[in-house]
Chains A and B, each alone.
Chain A
Amino acid sequence: MSVQRKVVIVPCSGIGKTYGTVSREAAYEIVEDLRPKDAQLVALSMLVLGDESTRAAVAGNQAITIDGCKLACASKMVKENGGRVAQEIAVLDVYRRYKQFKPNGIAELNEGGLHLAHALAEEVAISIDNLRSKNKEGQNA
């Protein structure tokens, strides 16, 4: 019996900038609404502190990181902890494609921020589907 693997979603959840909140909201939308069976959330703080189950999840699955700023903490931390980053997403890059959704607010996102998070989540959902398809092809080959 093969174990059903999930794509690990790691948002930076940066607290000082709107884009950090967008990364967090998008991650919740992916794992709760769009792809609950195919994606799982990993808390960056647990990974940073070396929690065993979190490290195992990151080591055993492909990861998609979502970063709110150029420091790319989520991406760096996953790589430094032995994870395979299938896709690195910078919220700012996504915003450049959806400039009509101007995010504002950190504790509570404005409408533009929620729309941006949704657009980002939709893109990640497609990436997850592609990763799953590739994995199935690889298993069948």
Chain B
Amino acid sequence: MPDLPKKKIGIVSCSGEELPEGTVTRLAALKVLEQLRPADTVTICLPLFLAGGEGDRAFAKFYPTIAVDGCELRCAARATGMYSSKPAASLVVRDIVIETGLEKPEGRRHLNPAGRQAVEATAARMVALVDGLLGKQWDRRAGEFVQEPPNPEPQGLGEATCSCGLGTPIQKVQIEGQEVTLVALPLIFQQFRQAGKQPSESIARELLDTVKIYNSVPEGMDIQYRAVLLREYSAFCEKEPAQ
């Protein structure tokens, strides 16, 4: 079984400064990132999709992403879709406020009680989406996740994981005469190398399985992709001696 990179969910909040609901998105996102699901989530600043490079823009391809917006303009969802990849899910605080019967949030700098309740309600919706996207199911009788895989990273208070400036590693390869960008390939190679995996046909199959987590591989192209991955991984191993 290959040592897969841990799947995380990307959170992109609009953080709109002009509206209280923008502050709600920011605080709800931070609550999920820092307290509720720190090991399962990562974020990126919304403007970085435009200001950043190709690696930054690969964020929503690398991570299934939840966009959280304050109002119906849906800046976070639209920008994520325009500059990275379509969000896996999208929330709007104003909709949540109406659905839950809360009063209107006020105070963009210091939220009123209704605003703080909206933060809790929005964070709860995000957690449900995060868990759903990670394929986890909550057992209400047992009060725990059903068949939850072992997670070495403890949940609890932590730092928000920010991808600003780090970018998502990508690598361009030639497949059948076409240049193809593969998200996370350098990271995958690195992990395989650190695990002591030598280039071979069976490792090429494992590589392809891992690559498919973060990239869409056209139907009927597995053989071509395996050949290229084997070639590129062999080159990588020559440059990066095993430690």
Which residues on A are within 8 Å of B, measured CB to CB? 11-17, 20, 24-25, 27-28, 32, 41-46, 48-49, 51, 69-74, 76-77, 80, 106-107
B47 within 8 A of A: yes
Structural contact, A107 and B31, CB atoms closer than 8 A = yes
State the 10 A-B residue pairs at the shortest beta-carbon distance, nearest first: A16-B162, A45-B75, A73-B47, A107-B30, A73-B51, A28-B109, A76-B51, A14-B45, A43-B18, A43-B17
Structural contact, A43 and B50, CB atoms closer than 8 A = no
Structural contact, A45 and B109, CB atoms closer than 8 A = no
Residue of B nearest to A24 (CB): B17
Structural contact, A15 and B26, CB atoms closer than 8 A = yes
Please judge, given known A-B contacts A13-B17, A69-B165, whether A77 and B51 are in contact too, CB under 8 Å: yes
Contacts of B43 in A (CB 8 A): 15-16
Q: How far is the CA of A42 from the CA of B43 in the complex (A)?
A: 22
Residue of B nearest to A45 (CB): B75
Q: How far is the CA of A109 from the CA of B99 in the complex (A)?
A: 31
Q: How far is the CA of A12 from the CA of B26 in the complex (A)?
A: 13
Interface size for B (C-beta < 8 A) is: 37
* CB 8 Å contact bits of B14-35 with A (1 = contact, 0 = none): 1111110010001101110010
Residue of B nearest to A25 (CB): B109
B78 within 8 A of A: yes
Structural contact, A46 and B16, CB atoms closer than 8 A = yes
B93 within 8 A of A: no
Please judge, given known A-B contacts A32-B109, A43-B22, whether A15 and B15 are in contact too, CB under 8 Å: yes
Q: List 29 A-B contacts (CB under 8 A).
A: A12-B45, A13-B26, A15-B15, A15-B160, A15-B162, A16-B161, A16-B163, A24-B15, A28-B108, A41-B17, A43-B17, A43-B19, A45-B15, A45-B79, A46-B16, A48-B47, A48-B49, A48-B75, A51-B73, A71-B48, A71-B51, A71-B52, A73-B45, A73-B47, A73-B48, A73-B51, A76-B51, A106-B160, A107-B30
Structural contact, A71 and B164, CB atoms closer than 8 A = yes
Q: How far is the CA of A76 from the CA of B162 in the complex (A)?
A: 20
Q: How far is the CA of A72 from the CA of B73 in the complex (A)?
A: 24
Contacts of B76 in A (CB 8 A): 45
Q: How far is the CA of A11 from the CA of B22 in the complex (A)?
A: 14
* CB 8 Å contact bits of B145-171 with A (1 = contact, 0 = none): 000000000000000111111000000
